[in-house]
Structure 1
């Protein structure tokens, strides 16, 4: 693929994001059937602002600052500092980040929305940086998603979509793209089950109406405060599990693509017809078409009403002033520049459509999901994973276990003894003691990965927050390096009280909680 064709695909991706997001935004999170055929509101030559694109722009800024070798901790810093939305999983993650937690704990702890839609909607940047490299796109998507979705279904959703979109630079067969995406996620996760059920129900001959009923009866999440149609309320579709949104919306994307049969307008309009997270489902589908066919694919009737500008709403407008791309063209050029730097630095070579098998996940890729439960710190010769063994919460007179998983990453055959020291805090005791010595060979050898457990007890009144530091030193003193890893625990009180729902408006308004 030459540079001009690639540029057209990336340009089409971002234009598609604006088209789909603007099309679906007026009906976002409304539970009803939307019988639309075009934009539904007055447009003045600008797209509607959309966090789906905003956070990807934030990742662009992080990549321009930090380089291609970024991980969830880097993304978490930018998320906390410059992303100003505080709703649902975004707000939970920011609260956890401010407490000192690191991903994936930031996305798991106290997060009822880790199975929601906030991550897959920002997958396109990874596909555009790694076209034809679904494994790399999926790996970066994983680092992205755990920031605010931790160990939830939202992580699988972003990995799935990023792999599809990366492969879509070379493959236009929707069925193949779906299968490629599925190869990157566990078969038993709800996203995988939902996607497969969508294909099964479509293949069985169900129409749009029947498949929507299937979603409503089997996969709906809680609707919060948004509109619900009288018809759906009578059927009992007003309340599902809080935050359980990504399986149903991924199903809607799949239905849109399958019912569309390669027709862009039919695909994107079908997705909006289902309701739910309409800007996200339509935006993802439109981006995928842009990737497959390039900017010239979109008719003027979709572009002219919204123009080529970018309108943001969730990036700090003061500290990022002058850095946010103002047009789709500028965003495209900056992503292209990053892609070229990344490919040179990582020594990547271009794929071809004939090498179709390379787009599917290697059997070991899914090992990455083991990282959804631990915080990883990488040092020369050593990787440390912190396992909080459950929630990072400490209670009075109840020992809290902390586990360190240690890997010797030396590049030559070597063994060494690692000294571990857990610095204590006033009012706490550490057992069996706060110092340990661990023998490590190389990680691929029999004693190369070890687990070390400590138990922390609180004596006296609980404090809201406890910060500890674990120190690691090799006896051989490789590079004379002393390595430190933070550990954060909080105390919490209160129990969840069941909500009583009340009707506080006309029939078309959803139930609201008694507060």
Structure 2
């Protein structure tokens, strides 16, 4: 693929994001059937703002500042500092980040929305950085998703879409792209089940109406605070699990792609017809077509009414003033610049290798990282396992674990001295200080767990901050390594929400507060 063709595909990706996002935004999170054939907003030559694109711009800014070797902690820092939306999983993650937690705990703890749609909608940047390298796109998508989705279905959704989109730079076979994406996620996760059900409904010849009924009956989340049509209310389609949104919306995307049979308008309009997270489903489909076919693919009737500007709504406009790309062209060129740096630093090359797009057996080991926080040091990796929620209760021991890995490539064994600094009013069991023998990680005693119990006595404080100190006995890396541990106390019990409809049928319900 020459540079002009590649640039066209990246350009098409971002233009598709604006097209699909703007098409679906006016109906976002409405549970109803939408009979549309074109844009429905007031056409003024600009796209509607959308967090789906905004957060990817934020990731671009993070990489321009810190380079390509970023992880969930870096992304979490930018997310907390510069992403101003505070609803659903975004707000939960920002609260957890401000408390001192790190991903994936930021996306898991107290998060009823970890199975929602906030992560797969921002997968395109990883595909554009690593075209033809689905494994790398999926790896970065994982670091991205755990910031605000932790150990939830949202993580599988972003990995699935990122792998599909990366392969789509070279492959236009929708069925093959779906199978490539599926190879990167667990077969028993709800996202995978939704995708397979989309395939089944399409192959069974079910039309839009029949497939929507199946989704409403089997995959919906709770949407009572948004608009619900009278027809859907009468059928009881408002009582799903709170935050259980991504399986249904991924199913909508896949059915739309299959039902469209290669026709862009049929695919993207089908997705919007279903309702639910319409800007996200339409935006993802349009981006995929842009990647497959390039900017020239989109008819001017889709571009002219919204132009080529970028309009943001969720990036801090003051601290990021002057840094946010003004146009789709500028965004494209800046992503291409980061891509060139990434390929040089990672020694990547372009070659035709579709057979290698599928996940290797080892890839799913990455999901072991959905429960622990990883800290990497020279010769040593430390993972913190909170063994459940990071909550401390008076007179009840709270168990935590440190999982230590000797990453040395030249020394076969060593001893690590560990000291867990205590806090007033707490007792650490069995003791604060310990010594752990490690061989290299690939040998018999190269990975070990160290378990503590922390007990709080007397009146509880809102937050307890601890630090664990790690040093090699010979101090061969000439440094002391510190890992933070944060525990919080919480009170109160969840009280069931009572909903009130203050208006005619079909208007939004409101919680009794």
Task: Report if TM-score (shorter chain) is over 0.5.
Answer: yes
2:132/2:166 contact within 8 Å kept: yes
Corresponding residue of 1:80: 80
Shift of residue 276, structure 1, vs aligned partner:
0.2
**How far apart, in 1, do the equivalents of 2:477 and 2:459 lie?**
42
What secondary structure sits across from 2:415 in the alignment?
Answer: strand
Partner of 2:373: 375
Provide the rounded CA distance (Å) in 1 between the counterparts of 2:214 and 2:172: 28
Residue 448 (structure 1) aligned to one of 421, 434, 446: 446
Q: Counterpart of 2:186?
A: 186
* CA positional deviation for 1:356: 1.7
Q: Which residue does 2:260 correspond to in 1?
A: 260
**Is 1:490 paired with 2:460?**
no
Q: Distance in 2 between matches of 1:328 and 1:76?
A: 25
| Aligned 8 A contact 1:225 1:509 in 2 | no
Aligned twin of 1:310: 310
Query: Which residue does the alignment assign to 2:170?
Result: 170
Give, in angstroms, the shift of residue 357 of structure 1.
1.4
What's the Cα RMSD here?
0.6
CA distance in 2 between partners of 1:351 and 1:151 (Å): 34
Using the TM superposition, give the Cα deviation of residue 413 of structure 1 relative to its aligned residue in structure 2, in angstroms.
Answer: 4.0
Q: How many angstroms apart in 2 are the aligned matches of 1:464 and 1:59?
A: 32
Report deviation, 1:476. Answer: 1.4
Q: Alpha-carbon deviation of 1:224?
A: 4.1
Q: Could you give the per-residue CA deviations for residues 199-221 of structure 1, whole angstroms, max 9, x where no partner exists? A: 01110111110000000000000
Residue 68 of structure 1 is matched in structure 2 by 68
The answer for the alignment partner of 1:387 in structure 2 is 385
Measured after TM superposition, the shift of residue 390 of structure 1 is: 0.3
Separation in 2, partners of 1:224, 1:82: 30
Q: Secondary structure at the match of 1:478?
A: coil
Report the counterpart of residue 115 of structure 2 in structure 1: 115
Deviations along 1:172-196, whole A, 9 cap, x unmatched?
A: 0000000000000000000001000
Q: 1:70-219 maps to which residues of 2 (within 5 A)?
A: 70-219=70-219
TM-score in terms of structure 2 length: 0.99
CA drift of 1:351 comes to 3.0
Is 1:427 aligned with 2:425? yes
**Aligned partners of 2:224 and 2:238 also within 8 Å:** no
Partner deviation per Cα, 1:34-61 (whole Å, 9 max, x = no partner) = 0000001211100000000000000000
Partner of 1:348: 348
Q: C-alpha offsets along residues 407-428 of structure 1, whole Å, 9 cap, x if unaligned?
A: 0000124200001100000111
2:225–2:511 CA contact under 8 A, matched in 1 = no
Tell me, yes or no, if the aligned pair for 1:388 and 1:403 is still in contact at 8 Å. Answer: yes
CA distance in 1 between counterparts of 2:82 and 2:224 reads 26
Deviation (angstroms), 1:384: 0.2
SS at match of 2:33: coil
* Structure 2: 5+ residue stretches without partners: none
Query: What per-residue deviation string (whole Å, max 9, x for no partner) do you get for residues 141-170 of structure 1?
Result: 000000000000000000000000000000
Match of residue 465, structure 2, among 458, 461, 467 = 467
User: How far is the alpha carbon of 1:502 from its aligned partner?
Assistant: 2.1
Correspondence for 2:509: 511
Contact 1:133–1:351 (CA under 8 A) maintained in structure 2 = no
Larger mean CA deviation between 196-205 and 115-124 belongs to 196-205
Q: Give the secondary-structure state (helix, strand or coil) at the position aligned to 2:22.
A: helix
Aligned residue pairs total 513
Conserved 8 A contact 1:238-1:511: no
Structure 1: give runs of 5+ residues left out of the alignment: none
Give deviations 1:15-48, integer Å, cap 9, x for gaps.
0000000000000000000000000121110000
Aligned to 1:289: 289
Question: What is the TM-score with the length of structure 1 in the denominator?
Answer: 0.99
